[in-house]
């Protein structure tokens, strides 16, 4: 049962054995195992949705497993909460560091375990001195009395590492620590990781970037769809081996059969540039087509869509809709020109729960159901009835507040709202993120139907099966740029992963 490491003499500091984690309707982890050894960096590799974040949350006591065991030094333990994990010397450095901007560096390092002086008051001088000592040890040029908000992201990472050292951590989990760092800062982080290794800390390093995995990791563990695929020494594998393991066999998921009848150009974007988010974005979208946007998280896909929708402003570039050049300055412009955007965070950005169904549906179409600013309730109801019926929305009355509906029906209200604007282009950002398999199939079905009706669909997705199963064409983005465009019959999972991660970029 126990996965035997080849360096069998060393016991794992921390390991997971057959851990299971269920969420309503989804099994996030099924029987995964993972071992972390002192003085070694283990890279955790997997696609989005492979279960990496869930593993981190279990290791740090935020989630409790539904089955299997957590072992510290070979002995089973239970982490009732985050404090319990911290007490075992497990600490995590997150993508966006979870520290307190308004406190000083020293206060952040020692929050919760500050040195106490007389009368149980915090001994500020000792705290600053100890902080300085730790920061010197990791060669971080940071004054412990500065406020955290004045530091760069890289420096904040260093503070988080200092905090880990201050509680005498034995296991340091780094969740995509380099995502927001510059090239120079990344190299400094590598040096620091080497130093932590030398001190005998066990490090779990989560990254999408293959170059850095091969630069700093000693071992690897690959997850796919919440399952453990394999682990071993990094020296024994190549990048291609890892890609193969990550992607694996095609997932048993059925996608609707589509006969794409691709029509005229619906949308053309030429030379979109943004000072910080993306550059040189050009693509064409046709009626009846589903265009997938694939890339790693943070590749700039949503940012392009938000610019296209008028939420942010590109510094350069032009948009043509149905052959006419259009200028989009606000979401209202976008809607007026026939582009709608269904954002990723539908809960926050979708429905207005205090308002009744019909008012939610007609909200972006009010100019059609009103005259000189005065609403025509009969027309409003007719419009709302037409589109809720098309989506088979079940509710006693269109005057029911959306907050009283189930999640799935709320989502139908949001989609009905956008369809009621009679758009030409619909942008779906991660349309199936966080929903169960059954609902996923319904969303896929629905997307196919929209395309069949001649709508041009952009689908931003990080899930390879979905990208492969639904798209007529895929645009792959990496670091704010389009790196490839693939037709349906020329894409393979391996190709998507390699292009998105930038493996084998020779030409």
CA distance 186 to 119: 43
The verdict on 199 binding other proteins (CB under 8 A) reads no
Cα separation, 364 vs 370, whole angstroms? 12
Identify the residue among 88, 274, 301, 417 touching other proteins (CB under 8 A): 417
In sequence order, what are the beta bridge partners of 341? 427
- Closer to other proteins at the Cβ: 187 or 330? 330
CA distance from start to end of the chain: 46
> What's the closest the beta carbon of residue 420 comes to other proteins, in angstroms?
11
Stretch that binds other proteins, among 57-65, 157-165, 261-269, 364-372 (CB under 8 A): 364-372
Q: Is the separation of the CB atoms in 35 and 74 below 8 Å? A: no
For the CB of residue 409, give the shortest distance to other proteins in the complex, in Å: 7
Each residue 386-415 as x (binds other proteins by CB under 8 A) or -, in order, gives --------xxx---x--xxxxx-x------
Q: How far is CA 133 from CA 97, 137, 165, 201, in A?
A: 22, 6, 11, 19
Q: How far is the CB of 310 from other proteins (least distance, A)?
A: 9
Residue 373 interacting with other proteins (CB under 8 A): yes
Smallest gap from Cβ 321 to other proteins, in A, equals: 16
Which residue lies nearer to other proteins by CB, 81 or 404? 404
CB count in 10 Å sphere of residue 369: 19
Report helix, strand and coil shares of the chain as percent, to nearest 5: 35, 25, 40
DSSP 437: H
What is the smallest separation between the CB atom of 335 and other proteins, expressed in angstroms?
4
Least separation in angstroms between residue 406's CB and other proteins is 5
- Which parts of 285-344 interact with other proteins (CB under 8 A)? 309, 311, 330-332, 334-336, 341, 343
The C-alpha atoms of residue 163 and residue 110 are separated, in whole angstroms, by 7
Residue 382 binds other proteins (CB under 8 A): no
Which CB sits closer to other proteins, 53 or 360?
360
Decide if residue 374 touches other proteins (CB under 8 A).
yes
Between CA 8 and CA 116 the distance in angstroms is 42
Block residue for tokens 């600490």:
91
Q: Indicate the residue among 375 and 389 with the shorter CB distance to other proteins.
A: 375
Question: CB of 385: closest distance to other proteins in angstroms?
Answer: 16
Residue 6 or 397: the one with the smaller Cβ distance to other proteins is 397
Choice between 373 and 438, CB closer to other proteins: 373
> Would you count residue 72 as binding other proteins (CB under 8 A)?
no
* Distance between CA atoms of residues 7 and 336, nearest Å: 64
Nearer to other proteins, 31 or 400 (CB): 400
422 contributes a contact to other proteins by CB under 8 A:
no
Residues 343-362 that bind other proteins (CB under 8 A): 343, 345, 348-355, 359
Strand order in the sheet with 90-93: 90-93, 171-175, 202-206, 41-45, 219-224, 227-233
Half-sphere exposure of 21 (CA within 13 A, CB side): 28
Distance between CA 99 and CA 108 in Å, rounded? Answer: 7
Shortest approach of other proteins to residue 353 CB, angstroms?
7
- Least Å from the CB of residue 336 to other proteins: 8
Distance of closest approach, residue 29 Cβ to other proteins, in angstroms: 24
Candidate residues 7, 297, 377, 437; the one interacting with other proteins per rule CB under 8 A: 377
Burial level of 92, CB count in 10 A (0-12/13-18/19+)?
buried
Six token digits for residue 188: 């400094």
Asked if 363 interacts with other proteins (CB under 8 A), we say yes
Give me the least distance between CB of 275 and other proteins, in Å please: 21
Tokens of residue 464, six digits: 């390879």
By C-alpha distance, which of 454, 446, 494, 453 is closest to 470? 446
In terms of DSSP H, where are the helices of 20-143? 52-59, 82-87, 105-110, 124-137
CA distance 487 to 477: 15
Give the shortest CB-428-to-other proteins separation in angstroms. Answer: 13
- 440-469: contacts with other proteins (CB under 8 A): none
Are residues 340 and 293 in contact, defined by beta-carbon separation less than 8 angstroms? no
Cα 386 → chain centroid: 35
Q: Which is nearer to other proteins, 394 or 487 (CB)?
A: 394
Q: Which is nearer to other proteins, 64 or 330 (CB)?
A: 330
Give 355 or 452: the residue with its C-beta nearer to other proteins: 355
CA 131 – CA 133 distance, rounded (Å): 5
The smaller minimum CB distance to other proteins, of residues 270 and 391, is found at 391
Size of interface with other proteins, in residues (CB under 8 A): 40
Strands (E), 121-218: 171-175, 202-206
User: Quick one: 133 or 389, whose CB is closer to other proteins?
Assistant: 389
Nearer to other proteins, 24 or 141 (CB): 24
Shortest Å distance, C-beta 128 to other proteins: 34
Residue 196, phi then psi, degrees to nearest 5? -60, -40
Residues that bind other proteins (CB under 8 A): 309, 311, 330-332, 334-336, 341, 343, 345, 348-355, 359, 363-364, 366-367, 370, 373-375, 377, 394-396, 400, 403-407, 409, 417
């Amino acid at each position: 049962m126990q996965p035997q490491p080849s360096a069998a003499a060393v016991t794992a500091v921390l390991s997971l054995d057959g851990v299971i984690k269920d969420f309503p309707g989804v099994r996030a982890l099924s029987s995964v195992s993972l071992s972390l050894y002192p003085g070694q960096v283990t890279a955790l590799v997997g696609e989005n949705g492979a279960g990496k974040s869930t593993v981190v949350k279990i290791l740090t006591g935020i989630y409790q497993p539904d089955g299997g065991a957590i072992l510290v030094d070979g002995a089973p333990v239970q982490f009732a909460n985050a404090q319990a994990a911290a007490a075992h010397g497990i600490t995590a450095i997150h993508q966006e560091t979870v520290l307190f901007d308004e406190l000083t560096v020293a206060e952040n390092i020692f929050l919760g375990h500050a040195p106490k002086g007389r009368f149980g008051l915090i001994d500020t001088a000792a705290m600053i001195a100890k902080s300085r000592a730790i920061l010197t040890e990791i060669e971080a040029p940071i004054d412990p009395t500065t406020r955290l908000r004045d530091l760069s992201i890289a420096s904040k990472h260093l503070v988080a590492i200092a905090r880990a050292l201050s509680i005498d951590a034995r296991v340091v989990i780094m969740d995509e620590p380099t995502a927001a760092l510059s090239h120079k800062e990344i190299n400094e982080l590598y040096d620091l990781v080497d130093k932590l290794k030398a001190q005998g800390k066990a490090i779990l390093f989560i990254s999408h970037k293959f170059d850095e995995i091969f630069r700093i990791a000693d071992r690897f563990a690959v997850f796919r769809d919440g399952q453990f695929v394999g682990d071993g020494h990094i020296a024994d594998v190549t990048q291609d081996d890892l890609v193969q393991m990550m992607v694996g066999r095609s997932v048993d998921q059925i996608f609707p059969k589509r006969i794409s009848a691709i029509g005229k150009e619906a949308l053309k974007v030429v030379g979109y540039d943004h000072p910080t988010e993306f550059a040189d974005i050009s693509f064409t979208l046709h009626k009846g087509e589903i265009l997938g946007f694939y890339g790693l998280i943070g590749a700039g896909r949503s940012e392009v869509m938000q610019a296209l929708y008028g939420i942010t402003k590109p510094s350069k570039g032009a948009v043509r809709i149905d052959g006419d050049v259009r200028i989009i300055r606000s979401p209202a412009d976008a809607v007026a020109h026939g582009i709608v955007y269904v954002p990723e965070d539908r809960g926050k950005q979708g429905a207005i729960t205090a308002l009744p169904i019909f008012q939610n549906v007609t909200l972006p179409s009010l100019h059609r159901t009103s005259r000189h600013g005065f609403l025509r309730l009969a027309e409003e109801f007719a419009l709302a009835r037409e589109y809720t019926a098309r989506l088979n929305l079940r509710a006693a009355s269109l005057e029911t507040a959306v907050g009283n509906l189930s999640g799935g029906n709320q989502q139908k209200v949001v989609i009905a709202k956008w369809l009621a604007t009679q758009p030409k282009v619909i942008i779906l950002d991660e349309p199936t993120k966080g929903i169960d398999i059954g609902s996923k199939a319904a969303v896929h079905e629905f997307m196919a139907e929209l395309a069949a009706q001649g709508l041009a669909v952009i689908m931003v997705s990080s899930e390879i099966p979905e990208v492969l199963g639904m798209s007529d064409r895929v645009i792959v983005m990496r670091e704010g740029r389009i790196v490839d465009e693939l037709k349906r019959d020329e894409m393979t999972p391996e190709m998507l992963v390699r292009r998105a991660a930038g493996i084998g970029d020779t030409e």
